[in-house]
């Protein structure tokens, strides 16, 4: 599904040669894997996730997605892959507060040209599966943190992505809601065959994944 060869990311700095956030990542992710990427703050784990999720691009190295070298894709090509192939779950939810739960989930389908009635029906079905059938028309501001993250997950899977990226998905949640979110991700992985790559600093939550990738100083620890 995903293969990285000597992947590097260097952020330019005015008075130096640049800051190397990633120093040569070699990684393979198979279809239906559930991988946790862990490490201390500033180690490069979110940078790696952003590159794998087409939110950023590498400075050097190769990135293969479903067998195709996507390292040099332009912004439009990366945006297309984000819409069609992947979903993203964020620590801060990134939901639109003026929209209802069902409207937030339907939004990615609108961007792919799905008609409104189809998008609303599918959004309702996903939210019901995630235990929010009685909150479809609530605004985001009326939902708890755990409920907001479930809406975030519902939105992320609304276009049936092949890979789901989760960046500290439990960072704003208490322990009970954190376990609930991890169980949802495990269910998506085991029962729906979704490949999941999750960044977390919590080793207890990382242990719920099938494999843990530890990063330190921009490199994978062996």
| 208 vs 189: CA distance, rounded Å | 12
Residue 222 has pLDDT above 70, yes or no: no
What is the mean predicted confidence (pLDDT) over 106-126?
93
| Average of per-residue pLDDT values in the chain | 92
Region for residue 148 given its phi and psi (left: phi exceeds 0; alpha: psi -120 to 50; beta: otherwise): alpha
Q: Classify each residue of 141-158 as buried b or exposed e, where b means 16 or more C-beta atoms within 10 Å of its C-beta.
A: eebeebbbbbbbbbbbbb
Contact 103, 135 (CB under 8 A): no
Angle at which helices 101-111 and 116-129 cross, to 10°: 130
pLDDT at 167 over 80: yes
- Residue 41: pLDDT band with limits 50, 70, 90: confident
Average pLDDT rounded to a whole number, residues 14-37: 91
Query: In the predicted model, what is the mean pLDDT of residues 201-217?
Result: 91
- Over residues 9-26, the mean pLDDT reads 89
Model pLDDT, residue 72: 87
Query: Over 70: is that where the pLDDT of 108 sits?
Result: yes
User: Are 98 and 62 a contacting pair, CB within 8 Å?
Assistant: no
Q: Is the pLDDT of residue 151 over 80?
A: yes
Domains of the chain: 32-60+79-220 (3.40.50.300)
**Taking 70 as the threshold, does the pLDDT of residue 13 lie above it?**
yes
15 pLDDT exceeds 80? no
Mean pLDDT of 186-193: 93
What's the mean pLDDT in 158-167?
A: 94
Mean pLDDT of 143-163: 94
**Using N-to-C axis directions, what is the helix angle for 175-192 and 145-156, rounded to 10°?**
20
Contact yes or no for 192/156 (Cβ under 8 A): no
- CA pair distance 172, 167, nearest whole angstrom: 11
CB 1 within 8 A of CB 27: no
- Give dist(CA 165, CA 118) in Å, integer: 25
pLDDT at 120: 96
> In terms of Cα–Cα distance, which of 146, 143, 109 is closest to 126?
109
Q: What pLDDT band is residue 84 in, cutting at 50, 70 and 90?
A: confident
């Amino acid at each position: 599904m995903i293969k990285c060869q000597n992947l590097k990311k260097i952020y330019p700095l005015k008075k130096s040669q640049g800051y190397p956030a990633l120093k040569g990542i070699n990684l393979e992710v198979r279809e239906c894997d559930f991988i946790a990427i862990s490490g201390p703050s500033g180690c490069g784990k979110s940078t790696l996730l952003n590159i794998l999720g087409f939110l950023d691009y590498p400075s050097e190295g190769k990135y293969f997605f479903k067998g195709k070298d996507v390292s040099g894709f332009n912004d439009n090509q990366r945006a297309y892959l984000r819409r069609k192939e992947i979903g993203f779950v964020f620590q801060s939810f990134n939901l639109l507060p003026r929209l209802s739960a069902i409207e937030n989930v339907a939004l990615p389908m609108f961007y792919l040209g799905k008609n409104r009635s189809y998008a609303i029906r599918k959004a309702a079905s996903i939210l019901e599966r995630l235990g929010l059938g009685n909150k479809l028309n609530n605004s985001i501001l009326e939902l708890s943190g755990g409920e907001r993250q479930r809406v975030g997950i519902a939105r992320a899977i609304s276009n049936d992505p092949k890979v789901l990226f989760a960046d500290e998905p439990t960072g704003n949640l208490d322990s009970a809601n954190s376990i609930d979110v991890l169980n949802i991700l495990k269910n998506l992985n085991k029962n729906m065959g979704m490949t999941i790559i999750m960044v977390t600093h919590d080793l207890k939550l990382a242990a719920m994944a099938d494999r843990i990738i530890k990063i330190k100083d921009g490199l994978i620890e062996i």
